[in-house]
Amino acid sequence: MANWKPSATISSLRERARILAEIRAFFAIRSVLEVETPLLSLTTATDPHLESISVKQIFASDEREFFLQTSPEFAMKKLLAAGSGSIYQLCKAFRQDERSKRHNPEFTLLEWYRIGLNEKQLMDEVQELVTTLTGSQPLQRLSYRQLFQQHLAIDPHSCTDLELLKIANKHIDFDGTGYRRDELQHLLMAQVIEPALGHDCFVFDFPANLAALATVETDEFGVKVARRFELFMSGMEIANGYLELADAAEQLQRFEQDKQLRSNMNRAELPIDTDLVNALEHGLPACSGVAVGVDRLMMLVLDAESIDEVMSFPLDYR
């Protein structure tokens, strides 16, 4: 029996080590500080579209619930508020997610924050890193509006919820009863637009209701948009970046909205990270941040069809 053997070949693991070294060299040249933050915390992301993995009773006398982090974002922003300057981190992250060719509940994340850069400038830096690692050509940039108009002939900012539902019913076989606007947008992006992307591209200026932790501002059409972007390559989401929200009151309000949405969706109630709110009150420097799925990036470099080919030991459900 060979079940004990790694799913990736040793040569692939050597290539993985080389790529990780290249990533660190990329940031060393730019004087971006590498940091480490905890994987376990008493708080976690409240995003209703994410599910954290909980760990209970770490200590015999402590019955509190801890969480494996879905991202190092909250802790890294506290470092930024404390005066760290531009920082990056290569770490494990954990999410309750389907196990598939592109998903593993434990994965490697590259996350970095650049002081003084907006999200368009950060896209330039993401392009530089991706080109360094994969040899890709300059990537096309499309707004969220352009993408939906091109593939679905609809403006995702101004269309009604009913129009979104009709479009979803036209392209997807599902019962749309009870679906919220953001859920329909996520569904159309994941099941209709992403599979139809015939080229690698950045997507920017998301609808304001999909802001997550990004700043919301008015675009050239007078419409409020989220200053965030995603990078898609070979039909996969590779990166997700924001012009970071620095308003503590707005952040707390979004946390409360997340809690209400989670309650409406019958999902577990999660504690709010009040330390992050306090850090924002202290002052977050103007910055943009991005998270890159390292394992998916490795898939591109190694031309792998499954995430298992680039990981030593993915989760085994035996």
DSSP character string of 155-209? -TTTS-HHHHHHHHHHHS-S--TT--HHHHHHHHIIIIIHHH--S-EEEEEEEGG
24: enclosing H helix or E strand = helix 10-29
Q: What is the mean pLDDT of residues 124-136?
A: 95
pLDDT score recorded for residue 198: 82
Rounded CA separation 307/101 (Å): 5
The helix-helix angle for 294-302 and 119-134 (nearest 10°) equals 40
Q: Which two structure tokens, joined as six digits, stand for 121?
A: 């400038």
Rounded CA separation 185/206 (Å): 10
Q: Pick the most confident of 184-198, 259-273, 284-298.
A: 284-298
With a cut of 70, say whether residue 211 has pLDDT above it: yes
Q: Is 204 exposed, middle or buried (0-12, 13-18, 19+ CB in 10 A)?
A: buried
Lowest mean pLDDT among 123-127, 136-140, 157-161: 136-140
pLDDT confidence tier of residue 137, bands split at 50, 70 and 90: confident
With a cut of 70, say whether residue 2 has pLDDT above it: no
With b for 16 or more beta-carbon neighbours within 10 A and e for fewer, the 14-37 pattern comes to: ebbeebeeebeebbeeeebeebeb
- Return the SS3 of 299: helix
State the DSSP code for 138. P
Within 10 angstroms of residue 183's Cβ, the number of other Cβ atoms is 17
With a cut of 60, say whether residue 150 has pLDDT above it: yes
pLDDT score recorded for residue 115: 98
pLDDT tens for residues 33-65? 999 999 999 999 999 888 999 998 777 777 889
Rounded CA separation 24/31 (Å): 10
State the DSSP code for 244. B
With a cut of 60, say whether residue 1 has pLDDT above it: no
pLDDT confidence tier of residue 199, bands split at 50, 70 and 90: confident
SS (H, E, C) 35-99: CCCCCEECCCCCCCCCCCEEEECCCCCCCCEEEECCCCHHHHHHHHHCCCCCEEEEEEEECCCCC
Across the chain, mean pLDDT equals 94
Between these two residues, 98 and 145, which has the higher pLDDT value?
145
Q: What is the mean pLDDT of residues 208-232?
A: 95
Taking the domains of the chain in order of start, what are their residue ranges? 10-139+200-310
CATH fold for the domain made of 10-139+200-310: BirA Bifunctional Protein; domain 2 (3.30.930)
Q: Is 213 exposed, middle or buried (0-12, 13-18, 19+ CB in 10 A)?
A: buried
Q: What's the pTM?
A: 0.94
Q: Which two structure tokens, joined as six digits, stand for 46?
A: 């409240």
pLDDT tens for residues 303-315? 999 999 999 999 9
pLDDT score recorded for residue 32: 98
Rounded CA separation 154/189 (Å): 13
Rounded CA separation 168/49 (Å): 19
